[in-house]
Structures are given as structure tokens and as C-alpha cells.
Amino acid sequence: MSKKKALITGITGQDGAYLAKFLLQKGYEVIGGERQNASGNKWRLKELGIENKIQIVPFELLEENSINKEVRRGKYDEIYNLAAQSYVDKSFVSPIYTTNVNALGVIRILEALRQFSNKTKFYQASSSEMYGNNESKIQDEKTSFKPISPYAISKLHAHWMLGLYRNAYNLHCSSGILFNHESPLRSNEFVTQKIITNLIKVKFNLLPCIKLGNIYAKRDWGYSEDYIQAMWKMLQQKKPGDFVISSGNTYTVKDFVKQAAKYLGFNLSWQGKGINEKAINKNNNKLVLKIDKKFFRPNDIQSIHGNSNKAKKILKWKSKTSFEDLVKIMCDAELKKYK
């Protein structure tokens, strides 16, 4: 039997790298889509030792021609669209660009599939951000969406378009509504990696202190390497669908700081309130963390908590890595760089 062939857009990102490794292990031929003006940085693929096992092709979500050409040429069994302007905070600064990439970009792919490759199975990276500050304490596939950022609205536009193409044109399209997932490959502009890299710098006296915004935001954090397996499982189903992928546990950003600080040997004392809140290391009386207004967003999700029972039942998938283990994996990987 010939090898299955998959295109992963956003191959240079966190999930793209882990998914590529996973599909290679499953015997796939993996092609990675890289955007125009790409970061050019393949450090994640190098880190996983797969840089030379993947063919890279141009794939720019802003360019219909680039997408049509590749979808037509590739004759893919599966396409995973992980590419996006994925920063929620940046979407407030660049709402038009974010919408063009995340919403229109997906329609460009769906149109290409409909016209040139309607047997290809398609995965779209949808997001828990689409729920916004919902009344439901726990979110599943039936919960209504109330997006509160340009990023979330762009993702919801794509999500609904995908549903339309599935129903109207019978395309095999599935959406993973993924809750936050992290790893040592996470960009340090996201809060978990920022906390860990900065705490380690503070520990080694390379940074005076760490500055954060809303530390009372609650997130349902899981591990990227667990979550990418659910993407693949979705495309192995006879029937496509939408699936919530989450750990089912929520913690505040402050809990994440506490857990990482404990693992890294800090003995924190929290003082003050609101913008004046800070954390001191009781071992040496030095400031470790303070709040900086600059890192607050115009709108923010206060709490998010996923229910992945559908994925458990149909995909036989569940989140395996605990919050404590996730923090440990990320801290150990960062500490290694200092040895």
C-alpha cells in the first residue's frame, strides 16, 4: 500500500512540529506548508530531529493562487490547517490582518478543496477562545459561542464556514475546538512559556523580575503532544465532526506561576492587590514578580473549562498529562538550556 500523504500548514509552529513527528512515525509522507515572509525558523523541527524528513512547500493563507496550486498539485489524503495569526493579544492590534489570515485563509482552502480535491480530509484548528465569557461554566460542542477578540471572531468565522462546506458540499472537514495546550516548543510570548523562561532568568540573576498582566484569568491547559493525536484521530473517522479537546481542569495564571516557582525552588510570598500585587522570594527577600498594565488586554476570557466527553467516546482520546507534569516538562526543557 502506498504511503498516506499529508500537508501540514503552520509546520514551523508548536503543533505543526509535533504533528509532523507523529505522522512520520505513523509512516506518512509529510509535506509542510510555509508562508511567504516566514520566520524561516525551523528550530522546532530541528529540536524534534525531523527537519530533513519533511518537504517544505510555499503555502500562504493570504494567497489564493498559492493555496489552489498546492491543493491541486499535492493530491493529499489529509490536510491539517494549523497556520494562523495565533496571538490573541496581537489580534487587537491587527484585526484586519488576523481576519484575512484566520477567516478568509480557511475559506480559500475550503474553496480549493471543493474545486480541486474533494476527497481530501481536512482538519481545522478551531479554538476555545470562540466561547468567550460564556454563561456555561463548562464548554462542550453544544455550548454557544460568544467570541470577545478579533482572533476569536476570525476563528469562529472559519469554524462556521467549515460546517457549511461539510453540509453543503459533503467535504470531510473536522474542527478541533482545542483549549490551551503548551509544551517546551511553545513560543515565549504565550503566558506559560513566558513564566517559565522568565522565572529561570530571575533564578540565575539574568532578569530583575517577571512582569505579567491578568494573573486571575483561568485556563484549561493541556500538553500539545497529547492534543495533536486527537487531530489525527478526527481524520480517521468515517464521519467528520467538531470535537472539544481539553484537559477538563482549570487553573489561574497565578496557579501556574506558583507551580513553576515551587518546582524551580522559589519560596514565594504574595503581597498587595490588583495592579500592586507582587511576589517576593522569602529565601532572599527579592522581588520575583510584579503586575504591569501593559500586559492586560482590552477584553479577556476570565475562565474557560472544557468537556471532552465526545472525543473520549468517539475518538477514544483523553488528555494524559497532568498540570503538574506539564509544568515539570516545560521547566526541565528550559533548565537543560542552562547546563
Give contact residues for ligand GDR (rule: CB under 6 A): 86, 88-89, 127-129, 179-180, 189-191, 194, 212-215, 217, 219, 253, 295, 297, 300
**Residues 72 to 111 in contact with ligand NDP, rule: CB under 6 A:** 82-86, 101
Q: CB of residue 215 vs ligand GDR: minimum separation in angstroms? A: 6
Residue among 6 and 253 whose Cβ is closer to ligand GDR: 253
Contacting range for ligand NDP; rule: CB under 6 A; set: 21-29, 71-79, 173-181, 300-308: 173-181
Residue among 218 and 278 whose Cβ is closer to ligand NDP: 218
Q: CB of residue 15 vs ligand GDR: minimum separation in angstroms? A: 9
Q: CB of residue 326 vs ligand GDR: minimum separation in angstroms? A: 13
Q: CB of residue 79 vs ligand NDP: minimum separation in angstroms? A: 13
Q: Is residue 178 near ligand NDP by the rule CB under 6 A?
A: yes
Cβ-contact 180, 139 below 8 angstroms: no
**Residues 33 to 52 in contact with ligand NDP, rule: CB under 6 A:** 35, 38-39
Q: Is residue 150 near ligand NDP by the rule CB under 6 A?
A: no
Q: Is residue 14 near ligand NDP by the rule CB under 6 A?
A: yes
Q: 62 is in the binding site of which of ligand NDP, ligand GDR, none (Cβ under 5 to 8 A by kind)?
A: ligand NDP
C-alpha cell at 127: 479554538
Cβ-contact 154, 146 below 8 angstroms: no
Q: 12 is in the binding site of which of ligand NDP, ligand GDR, none (Cβ under 5 to 8 A by kind)?
A: ligand NDP
C-alpha cell at 216: 486571575
Cβ-contact 116, 72 below 8 angstroms: yes
Q: CB of residue 82 vs ligand NDP: minimum separation in angstroms? A: 4
Which distant-in-sequence residues (6+ apart) come within 8 Å of 236 by Cβ?
none
Distance CA 69, CA 281 (A): 56
Q: 300 is in the binding site of which of ligand NDP, ligand GDR, none (Cβ under 5 to 8 A by kind)?
A: ligand GDR
CB atoms within 10 A of CB 73: 12
> Closest CB to ligand NDP belongs to which residue?
13
Q: Which one of residues 6, 8, 10, 289 is an interface residue with ligand NDP (CB under 6 A)?
A: 10
C-alpha cell at 14: 508548536
For binding to ligand NDP (CB under 6 A), which residues are involved?
A: 9-10, 12-16, 35, 38-39, 59-62, 82-86, 101, 125, 127, 178, 180-181, 187
